[in-house]
Amino acid sequence: MSNTVSRGIRNNNPGNLVSTNIAWQGKIPLSKNTDGKFEQFVSMELGIRAMFKDLINDINKGKNTVRKLINEYAPPSENNTSQYIKDVCKSIGVTPDQKISFVNSKFLLMLGKAIIKKENGKDASKVSDSQIIKAMDLLGDVSTPLLKVTTTKNGLAILIPLLLLFYTVFTITL
């Protein structure tokens, strides 16, 4: 791809994940990475999948509001984080401190599109909804780490039965 296209699109990394030692699926090894600062992926879908994995991991670690999530994802030392938060909230229809308790496919699609737009500007249109949906499909079952668990007196974990009905479908607390 031409250098006139945004870096995230050129790298198949529209979330602009910084290079790390994380073994993302479809990641171009650091030894062959021509960018130097940001991850590169063999396909757009695998780059988006890594972005979603990173976001879901952050939500699971307690970054469960857009403010907390974006402060982790796009820190003020590198971004205009307050504007980033405003733009993402406007795109997905939540307030900055509204708790994200569960993530469903609709929410994930909106969040992914908002971040891709923020990270790539006008070039965000080069990423299709079908690519984002395919990336969500590649996540597999992400429900397990997001399920709430209660514990009985004898320590046996009991998953809330209603949640077991949802394989990869979650809800956001509104």
pLDDT tens-digit profile of 115-161? Answer: 999 999 999 999 999 999 999 999 986 544 443 333 333 333 333 33
Can you give the pTM of this predicted structure? 0.79
Asked whether the CA dihedral 69, 72, 74, 80 is positive or negative, the reply is positive
| Range 21-40 average pLDDT | 96
Show me where the domains of the chain are located. Answer: 45-164
The pLDDT of residue 1 is 57
The pLDDT of residue 104 is 80
Helices (H), the chain: 7-10, 44-60, 66-73, 81-92, 105-120, 129-138, 143-146, 161-164
